[in-house]
Structure formats: C-alpha cells, structure tokens
Amino acid sequence: MSVPAIEVVDLHKSYGSLDVLRGVDLTVGTGEVVCVIGASGSGKSTLLRCVNLLEQPTRGTVRVGGVEVTDPDCDIDAVRRRIGMVFQGFHLFSHLNVLQNLTIAQRRVLHRPILEAEKIARQNLDRVGLADKERAYPLQLSGGQQQRAAIARSLAMQPELMLFDEPTSALDPELVGEVLAVMRSLAADGMTMMVVTHEMSFAREVADRVAFMDGGLILECGPPETLLEAPAQARTREFLHRVLTH
C-alpha cells in the first residue's frame, strides 16, 4: 500500500473561541486531484494552509508523504520543498522579471547554479505558455499571466504535490480559463493536487474526488459525478443549488 500524499486526521483549528476546523479527516493519494468546495468561511483555505503549516493546527495530525508535519521536531522547511503552493494573489516580486522570479528560490533554497535554474525556469514557463514573457515584469502581465507565472515558479522547485488556494478568484472571468487549462494539464501529467475552488465545472471535469466543507467539517467526499450530481447531504444540495443556478 503506497503512502498517501496527504493525510489529515482529526484536524482542529481555533482562533480564540472561533472554531474554524472542527475535526477534519481527509486523505489525498499520490497522483490524485481532490477539489475542496464550500461556502466562504467554511474552513477550506485554513485546511489547505494547515497542510504545509502556514497555519498551526490547534489539534490533530497532518502527514505529507508519510512525514508528520505536526510533529514539533519535523523539519518543516524540508517538507515544504516538496510542496508547491499557489495563492489567490500572485505574490510575484515586482522588481524582478519573470525569469528572475522563477530562479530566485531555486538558487537560494535548492542552491542550483544559475544556468541550471534558468533552464528549469524556461522549461516551466514553456509548460504554462509564457515562454515569450521571461523578460517581462509582473506589472506588464495580465492577471492570468501572473498566476500562470506563479504556477511555473512553484513547478520550477519540482514539487511532489501542488496546493491551490482559490487560484482563479482574483481574476477577471475571461482570464480564468487560461489558468484552469494549465491546471488541467498538470492533472493530466499525474501531479498530485489539492485545490480549493469555486469552479464547479473544473471540479467536475478534473477532480478524482470532491470534498464539501461546511462549518469546519467535511460533510461528504466522493467522485464528482456522485457529489455534484447526487449529493447525500441536504446542506451540500443547498450549496450546489445556490452556486449552480447563479
């Protein structure tokens, strides 16, 4: 039995008296795409950020590739090198051009020589359709191009899995498709992905499983054709009715 890429057990996260996560269990297998859906405030992004300890869980266990990241003795920096993360905002360095944005972490964290780092950067810019933008600065790019550059930057670190936190929510509607197309190609290449998203068509098309969160819990999780077409929980049906009819 292969070790899961991500294993979350009884995860809790509280901010004072506010319980954001209330006992979440979720496993993501190697090569699997799991989309997490739910209303704003349901705990989706907090769950994602707990996977690489950007948020410190209050209680529970998170393992990445069999390594318990919630163990106080865990070398979290070593684990994070295996994880790519893409946020709502693009977080590109505005004073660096696209190529420099893709090489800086390779050189400082992985200590790659500049020529190797640039070669890997260019391979990944080509992968996301930005081969002609390596000398451009972030503010010269559209939002969709900036997000694709951010994805390429994560890929340049050659991660084992990718975490996406609503990667299209800051984009104009006409730019969403180009980012989702890159994510589709990553899924087709076998990349392990955990995606917090409001894009139901993407979840239906690309996810192996969809998890619906509400009130800090995963209420149900299953194949998209089951969860999105015939959900078992009334709360899931209510949520889907609302988002799919708007």
Q: Which of 81, 47, 61 is CA-nearest to residue 8? A: 61
Tell me the pTM. Answer: 0.95
- Mean pLDDT of all residues in the chain? 95
Q: For residue 189, report the phi and psi dihedrals to the nearest 5 degrees.
A: -80, -5
Q: pLDDT tens for residues 46-74?
A: 999 999 999 999 999 999 999 999 999 99
Distance CA 236, CA 150 (A): 32
- The per-residue pLDDT for range 7-22, each reduced to its tens digit, is 999 999 999 999 999 9
CA dist 101 → 113, 117, 153, 188 (Å): 15, 11, 7, 26
pLDDT above 70 for 236: yes
Give the whole-angstrom CA distance, residue 56 versus residue 212.
22
Nearest one of 157, 207, 165, 213 to 187, comparing CA atoms: 207
DSSP state of 43: S
